[in-house]
Structure formats: structure tokens, C-alpha cells
Amino acid sequence: MNKKIISCVSILVLLLGLAWSCAKAETLDFERSRQSEEKIKTEESRAGENKTNHTNEQDSRNLCESVKKVDFSSKEYPINWEIYTDQVEQAYKENFYRIITNQMPLEYEEEKAVYFRDHLRGISDLDDMEFIEQFVKETRYRFIDCDGDGLPELLMDIGINGFCILKYLVEEQKVEVYHWLNEYEALLGSNQIGYCNSTSANNTRYGYKTLNRAGEVENEIYFTAYYGETGIEYEIYIFGDESMSGHLNQEQWDEVTKDFFTMLDCPVTMVTYEEAFGKNFTGTEALHGNTDEAMRAYDEFLSGERALENSGGSTIANMDDGSMKYLTCDINGDHIPELHIQTSGDYYILAYQNNVLFVLFHEQVEETLKCYGVCKNGEIVYKYTKENKESYSFYKFEFSGNAFKTIGFYRNDSNGNGVYDENDEYECNETICTFEEWTSSAEGYFSIDKNGDVQILHMMEWKDYNESKKR
């Protein structure tokens, strides 16, 4: 049992953040799907559950007149080609590409960078390159101006995750989520959203929303058809400056929904990745960072002159307890070194991208039980020791902060004689093996010294934080 616990800990510790991201993605998606439903349910409860209490004729006419004032025709803001030049277009595509391929964080939460993939369901088993090939390049897109500023936002059809609209903020040089559409919604125009949910057995619900320039829902109308034993009942909810609801007869329903249903059948046209970004577009040249800028940012942070984007301040836990050590090494292949910090209680990886310094990875460390090392090839080594058991796990990091295990080793001095030999227990990648097989698999990763201790190969040397401050 102890062996299994240690093995599981070593596998899971660096992947904890990814697991949290997947759980969060499902939560976010669920929240987006249910918000409008909850709003309607609230109104339904106010009106009472007995749907046979029909709205009086005058109220029905008033409701119809309110709906008729809505222009159910698709509208699309034109792109201002005087400001959206070829150079600007390239910058837009480069920055959108960085985000959707997880090469830059989408947002920053306390002690964690949140990437685009963290918001998605159904992709947890893909590494970043697989994500690009199987998701990014298979997704459909549309550049469309949603807020009327003459510059396009990026609309993405992301399947079970619905639709996502991303906006590039030129001055801040960052991308943010403009609006999420759930899986029942579709973009009908620049700021117009249509909704259709027929998953319920006793009703079908349709909806129409408009967004303001901030990407927030401004006005909503919901059309609901209820199917009962006595026939179909029709109900409308209007949310906005003057919210109202009521029942309609068949004739009224047909009259006020005709133009809406015509519009609902014609969502904005989506195109392929190649059509949106251009054939063979990768944006890789723009991803190479400035090492000198990163090193200056790290020096400023270590000297207390620069704050982190996340973590809530300029320092991290236990920086001044005398145990802190650090080093710099590129571990995610973005051509910019990351700052690695290990204290008595925590292990941090700080990253610098797009003029932002942030926490890429954070894990608590139990002193004397586990520690981290960094190899010159960018792999992270996680060592866990307890009593007469040891495990060594090697991980590679991706742009998104996603870590995957390349190989793992475990040994147990099962006879308790204080010596690891052929009579003890050994595993490689959770597969039981002999001592000879274990040492053979370890070639290139570590060696065994004359005392039987594991010596990790090509390790980078940690620097003492307090000693560096004295200099």
C-alpha cells in the first residue's frame, strides 16, 4: 500500500494544476449554460407553475407590440480598413494564435496562470502539440467586429464548449474573452446571439440576445413552446429596460416569431483555420522572447523592485526564511528562461512573457520528504523519499504550464537492511522490474554511486538567495 501511495504521489504532484483546470473548465461551461435558464426559471416561479392562467388579451397585445419593435435582421459592423492595415492584421493574428495555442496565458489567477485550454472540456488527454493539430486546426473561425470599433474579434466554434469570442486589446497587447456562448447558442450578427434548446421532453426554448460594446448581454427575449396533453402553449419572456412576460395564442406566436426564426436559421458563416489565418500560418517567429528582458525582470523581482501579475504581491511565501534558492532555465521551449525558486515549503516557477511576470507553476514542498531539481535539458526532476523508499520522476513542461511525465523510477529497501540491491523492490514507469532492468532504464537519467545513492545527471546548480543578496 505504501508503495502505491508514493508512486501515485510522484505521478500526480506536477499534474495537480491540470486536473484543477479540467474541473474548472467543466464548472465554467456548466455555469455559462445554466445562467439564462436560471433567469427564466426565476421568472417562471414568480408567474406561478400553472401555465393555464393565460395572459389577458390586452397584455398579450402589449407583449406582441414589444416584440415587433425588435429588428430581427442580421447586422454586421464593417471593418475599418484604414486602421486595420496588413501590419495590424498580422499583429492580431499573432496574438490570437498565441492564446489559442496556449503559448500565452489568457488570464492570471492567484498563483496560477490560466490558459485557453483550461476553459475547455474534452481535451485533457492532449498535449500541446496534439491540441494544436487536433483542436486548433480543426476548429472553425470567423474574424468579425462585434463591438463596432472597426477592428475584428475572433469567433471560435468549439463544439461541446460552445462558442468563444476573443478580443485583442491593442494598447495592453493582450487578449481577453469578450463573450462566451453556450452550446445552444450561435452568433447571428456582430452583437446578436440566437438560442435554441430542444433537449427537454416537454418544451423547446428559443432565445435572442444583443450584446453591448463590453460584450455583456444588454437585452434578451425568450420564446418557449410547452407541449402538453391539451396542446401547445406559447410563452415569451423579455429582459431589458422593461422586463415583461406572458402567454400568446398560436396566431400571435406565428406573427412575432416569423422573422426571428428566419434569422435563427442563418448564423454567421464560419471558415476553416487555413481560411482564417492563412495557409501554413504558425506565428512561431513572434513567440521567441527576449532573454535579456526576462533576466532583468527576474532580478527586479528578487530585489523586491517588481511585483508578480498573480500571487498578489512582489514576494512569495518563505522568501526570507533563509532556505530559498533559485536558478534560471527554459523548461517550456518558448526560448525564454524561467525563474525557479525553492523554499522550505514551496516550489515556484516564474515566467516572463509579453512584458508580464507571473507564476507559471506552484507546488507545496514537504521539507526532507520531497524536492525538485532542474536538468540542463529543461526536464524537472521530482524526488520523494520516505523511510526506506525513494521515487524519482522526470517531467517536461509545455507552453501552457501543462506537465507530463517522461519516466519514473521507484525503489524500496523491502528487507530493511539499509542497502539497495537485487533483493529489493524496483519499478520503472510503474512496472515491476529487476535491479538490472532498473539500472539499465536509468541510463542517461542518473547513476548509482559507490554508496548506492542516486546521482541525477546533468543537474543545474541552485543559487543561494541570501548569498546573492549580500553581493
Q: What pLDDT digit, counting tens, does each position of 222-261 carry?
A: 999 999 888 899 999 998 777 889 999 999 999 999 999 9
Average pLDDT estimate for 301-318: 76
Instruction: Decide if pLDDT at 11 tops 70.
Output: no
Cell 446571439, residue located: 193
Residue 332 has a pLDDT of: 87
Residue 35 has a pLDDT of: 53
Q: Directed axis angle between helix 57-68 and helix 250-264, to 10°? A: 20
What band does 5 get if pLDDT is binned at 50, 70 and 90? Answer: very low
* d(C-alpha 212, C-alpha 189), whole Å: 13
Residue 243 has a pLDDT of: 83
* 166, 188, 273 from 157: Cα distances, Å: 12, 13, 11
Average pLDDT estimate for 376-386: 93
* Residue ranges of domains in the chain: 18-277, 288-470
Residue 337 has a pLDDT of: 93
Predicted TM-score (pTM) of this structure: 0.78
pLDDT digits (tens, 9 = 90+) for 41-97: 554 444 334 343 446 888 888 899 999 999 999 999 999 999 999 999 999 999 999
Instruction: Decide if pLDDT at 15 tops 50.
Output: no
* d(C-alpha 18, C-alpha 6), whole Å: 20
| Percentage above 70 pLDDT, the chain | 84
Residue 20 has a pLDDT of: 41
Residue 30 has a pLDDT of: 38
Residue 296 has a pLDDT of: 95
Range 111-116, long-range pairs (CB < 8 A, 24+ positions): 111/310, 111/311, 111/359, 111/362, 112/17, 112/310, 112/359, 112/362, 113/310, 113/351, 113/358, 113/359, 113/360, 113/401, 114/21, 115/21, 115/399, 115/400, 115/401
Residue 370 has a pLDDT of: 74
Instruction: Decide if pLDDT at 371 tops 60.
Output: yes
Beta carbons within 10 angstroms of residue 178's beta carbon: 20
Instruction: Decide if pLDDT at 194 tops 90.
Output: yes
Q: How does the average pLDDT of the chain come out, rounded?
A: 85
Instruction: Decide if pLDDT at 376 tops 80.
Output: yes
